[in-house]
Amino acid sequence: MKTGGWIVIAVLAGSLGASLMWNRCHSVRPSQPVSIASSSAVPTPPMVSAISPRKQMVRGQVRAKAVTHLPAVAVVAMPIAGQVCGVAVGEGDAVAVNQVVASLETAGIAEQLAQARQQQASMEAHPATPANVRSGSVAEPDATTKLLEQIVKAAESNAETAKAAREHGLDATKRIQQLYLGGTLAEPDWLRAELDQRRVEIEAQKQSLQLAVWRAVAALAPRLLARSNDVSAAASDPLRPTLADVKAMQEQLRRKLDQAEIHSPVEGVVLHRHAEPGATLAAGAPLLTVGRLDDLQVIAEVPTAIAMRLKPEQSVDILTGLPNDPPLPGKVLRVYPTGLTKTLPSGDEQQFARVAIALAQRPATLGDNFGLTVQITYDQVDDALTVPRSSLIRSDLGHWCAMLVRDGRLVLRKVETGIITDDLAQIVSGLSAEDVVVAGPSRELQPGAAVTVERP
């Protein structure tokens, strides 16, 4: 190729390169920065969602688990030791005052009464006199020995009954104690059960002592009767039953027959049936528990800080837990003076107080020891300055604080709160309606940091 051709090619290549460079420089938009040399980029401040406090009505309410409770019940107990023959009512049955609710086995009592009557007739037919005592016609060791044997047998039966009732009562008392310690049984019920067990213990000791006495009497009777040679000796013998003793025994047996038919002392509903037919129980052992369901109260456990603000006659909503059931109206009766400590699921301990609540009207299906939920409004402010509860955080010292935005930077502000609900917190001091508050502050946001605000 000639030299002139090479020159032409070089000129064309230079023109093409210049054209490409021009197009590249003019294709960049004015708003785009052109990187000519290395430079440090300014970080964009994080964006936070913010709100302003606003005034509205706020209610201080607490929801707490509750249980129905009868403040007073009547226990139908065994009037005498014996075997239960029949129980005429069951749990849930209504009973009237003086209604027959149970009966005891009377065959043994009737037999003893018949024997006592025979002995009385024999003693009246053959009265003890000095003449027939000396002739030996009055001494009746066999009849006396038989009577003592019967008494010993009756004492043995009573002792066995009392022992069985004592063992049964110990087991029942242990179960009741576990319910009381577990918090599912009220203290009056536990004290009542403990008192009943003490009565059973005393009855068992009494029957055991009586058995020991009668056994000693039966062992000494033959020798003492053998030495009875005249009326004065027999009259001075305290171990020989007299006609008056036999009559007194008959009266005691007749009272037992009357007591074998057990009546309800009150009107109400059978809450518990403690014994079944065939059971052998000591005197004082419980048969039935009767209560008036119209006297039902609701016992709720609320934090002590709230319980201290409750007043008698304060309205309460009682919730059954069913979605379509309207709240049952109630009112505060009293706050119990003794608190209790409970461990929360978080592991923290909190103080609670029991609150007694009266039902305005009891539903027919609501019974004793039923689980419920109560909702108590303990305070209300109609024109309160509020923020979402989620906008408050705790400081290291435990104070409530809010994170504000001032001139594009974060400021931590201590606030004083009033009513706090699940959703809202009343601000008593520390904020105004013009403040810009971070809606959901986190630990990553530090005071003094620059932020941009986004309004919801």
Cα separation, 394 vs 402, in Å, equals 9
Cα separation, 289 vs 185, in Å, equals 15
pLDDT digits (tens, 9 = 90+) for 407-428: 999 999 999 999 988 899 999 9
Enclosing domain of residue 149:
74-291
Q: Are residues 346 and 210 in the same domain?
A: no
Q: Which amino acid is at 114?
A: A
pLDDT the model gives residue 18: 41
pLDDT the model gives residue 141: 61
Using alpha carbons, select from 78, 278, 281, 277 the residue that is nearest to residue 165: 281
- Residue 52 near residue 439 (C-beta atoms within 8 A): no
Provide the β-strand partners of residue 56.
Answer: 384
pLDDT the model gives residue 355: 96
- Domain-terminating residue out of 241, 269, 291: 291
Cα separation, 89 vs 101, in Å, equals 6
Q: What phi, psi does 240 have (nearest 5°)?
A: -90, 125
Q: Are residues 286 and 310 in the same domain?
A: no
pLDDT the model gives residue 159: 81
Q: What is the DSSP letter of 381?
A: E
Provide the β-strand partners of residue 49.
Answer: 454
pLDDT the model gives residue 337: 93
Q: Are residues 302 and 286 in the same domain?
A: no
3-state secondary structure at position 418: strand
Question: Number of folded domains in the chain?
Answer: 3
- Residue 71 near residue 248 (C-beta atoms within 8 A): no
pLDDT the model gives residue 17: 46
* Alpha-helix runs per DSSP H in 45-140: 107-125, 130-135
pLDDT the model gives residue 333: 95
Q: Are residues 261 and 250 in the same domain?
A: yes
Cα 256 to Cα 105, 119, 252, distances in angstroms? 11, 19, 6
Q: Are residues 157 and 142 in the same domain?
A: yes
Q: Are residues 148 and 65 in the same domain?
A: no
pLDDT the model gives residue 54: 93
* Alpha-helix runs per DSSP H in 300-406: 304-307
DSSP letters of 372-420?
EEEEEEEEEEEEEEEEEGGGEEE-TTS-EEEEEEETTEEEEEE-EEEEE
- Residue 95 near residue 264 (C-beta atoms within 8 A): yes
Helices 107-125/243-259 angle, 10° precision:
160
Q: Are residues 213 and 259 in the same domain?
A: yes
Residue numbers in the chain where pLDDT is lower than 50: 1-39, 131-139, 229-234
Q: Are residues 189 and 248 in the same domain?
A: yes
Helices 141-181/107-125 angle, 10° precision:
150
Helices 187-226/141-181 angle, 10° precision:
160
pLDDT the model gives residue 118: 86
